[in-house]
Amino acid sequence: MAFILTFLGKGGTGKTTLAIAAAKEFASQGQRVLLAGQSSGPGLGLLLETPLEADPKTIAPNLQVVQLQTSVLLERNWETLKEHEAQYLRSPFLKSVYGQELGVLPGMDSALALNAIREYDAKGNYDVIVYDGLGDQTTLRMMGMPEILSWYLRRFREVFDNSGIGSILAPFVQPFLSSVLQVGVSGDSIAQPTNQAQNILEKGRQAIADPNRIAAYLLTTPDPLAIAQAKYLWGAAQQVGLTVGGVLLNYLDVSVTEISEMLILPEFSPLPVRSIPYRMVDNWEPLQAALPNFREAIQVPRPITIDVAAQTVSLFLPGFDKKQVKLIQSGPEITIEAGDQRRNLYLPPELSGRSATGAKFHDDYLTISL
């Protein structure tokens, strides 16, 4: 299992540069690294001074790089899906549609990239995967996908089961889910593939919630807009269960003195803040030397802490004030709304199904009594 690292921050704060520096540093320490670029623009390739491809290529000892191209991933996944369809369905109907003609719709970039990272991770060839994504809400939506998709599956399966539609749709949903998940199932039941899907999503959710597996770091310049955006993304990351391990303060302009570090420290407390020097052309060493130990993300507050004995759930929601956080109890689970994200609390069996009896927001923590 690889350690997956990504950077969040306003555009132009140097996310791609830092992703390269981190990848180089891990590789120089003897870790087997995959640098996976998502943005389809030329940025990463230009900074690395090499053309990128849709499959990993070695660019230095221990260091491979890949460009996650959505159209290619879509084509490959479609062909696999068709193979599975032919295997599981008596009269396959998708075989006449070709992967090469499929256009890219919104959301496919994130879904396919997350799946590609999962597959690279599962191969066991890498100790570290550095994901250079858009580093904004888009990356958070991607990281939130396992938990949220799992909720949709849980909730709508219940609804469909109760309405009797499940049994009608099963013959179509089953091969589709089997194919997307690339798991073999037999029979016509909708239960087996949805359970398999839940297993995969649950593994993804657990990985994202575990800072030993996946961590994000904030990137900002001394610009107040960049600081505000980093702070916002910090809070929004908690809402998808992603641990933010620290802040990197990138001096894009050599004329800015280190005084700004003192200014931003209190904004991001209790996160460690690390200053990153201005990068001179082709000299990556000073940047690499300035990097923190990214594995120390385990020392910061977790997005969610569930205390079964005390019957409380505690959510770390930095960067928001009381008015920006909403607690909703309309469905069977408790919903937290903040940062244009909704999180449905999936509780352990002991607390499952309970309503909130009280809630308070204090010192960046929302504590809910059940």
- Least Å distance, CB 62 to a second copy, is 26
Q: Is 313 in the site for a second copy (CB under 8 A)?
A: no
Residue labelled with tokens 């958070």: 140
Q: Which helix (H) or strand (E) holds 216?
A: strand 214-220
Q: Find the shortest distance in angstroms from Cβ 362 to a second copy.
A: 22
Within a 13 Å sphere around the CA of 70, how many CA atoms are in the beta-carbon half? Answer: 17
What is the per-residue burial (b if ≥16 Cβ within 10 Å, else e) of 197-216? bbebbeebbebbbbbeebbb
Q: Which is nearer to a second copy, 169 or 310 (CB)?
A: 169
Q: What is the CA radius of gyration of the chain?
A: 22
Q: Which of 28, 31, 40, 196 binds a second copy (CB under 8 A)?
A: 40
Interface with a second copy in residues 266-305 (CB under 8 A): none
User: Whose Cβ is closer to a second copy: residue 33's or residue 143's?
Assistant: 143
- Shortest CB 124 distance to a second copy, Å: 27
| Cβ-based nearer residue to a second copy, 41 or 353 | 41
Which tokens sit at 156?
A: 């709508």
Using CB under 8 A, pick the residue from 80, 196, 198, 335 that binds a second copy.
335
- 118 touches a second copy by CB under 8 A: no
- Taking the C-alpha atoms of residue 336 and residue 144, their distance in angstroms, rounded to an integer, is 14
Taking the C-alpha atoms of residue 67 and residue 44, their distance in angstroms, rounded to an integer, is: 9
Number of residues that bind a second copy (CB under 8 A): 75
Between 40 and 196, whose beta carbon lies closer to a second copy? 40
- Binding flag, residue 180, a second copy (CB under 8 A): no
Q: Is 257 in the site for a second copy (CB under 8 A)?
A: no
Site for a second copy in 222-251 (CB under 8 A): 224-225, 228-229, 232-233, 236
Beta carbons of 253 and 276 less than 8 angstroms apart: no
Residue partners of 119: CB distance under 8 A and separation at least 6: none
Verify binding: residue 107, a second copy, rule CB under 8 A.
Answer: yes
Say whether residue 108 binds a second copy (CB under 8 A).
yes
Taking the least distance from each CB to a second copy, the nearer of 155 and 354 is 155
- Cα–Cα distance for residue pair 150/102, rounded to 1 Å: 26
Alpha helices per DSSP H over 124-217: 137-163, 165-181, 191-209
- For 16, the token pair is 């791609």
Q: How far is the CB of 12 from a second copy (least distance, A)?
A: 2
Which residues, numbered 131-170, are part of the site for a second copy (CB under 8 A)?
A: 134, 136-138, 141-142, 144-145, 147-149, 151-152, 155-156, 159-160, 162-163, 165, 168-169
User: Rounded to an integer, what distance in angstroms lies between the CA atom of residue 125 and that of residue 34?
Assistant: 9
Binder of a second copy out of 60, 61, 79, 97 (CB under 8 A): 97
106 near a second copy (CB under 8 A)? yes
Q: Which two tokens stand for residue 198?
A: 């839940």
Taking the complex as a whole, the smallest distance from the CB of residue 295 to a second copy amounts, in Å, to 27
Structure tokens given for 217: 């770091």
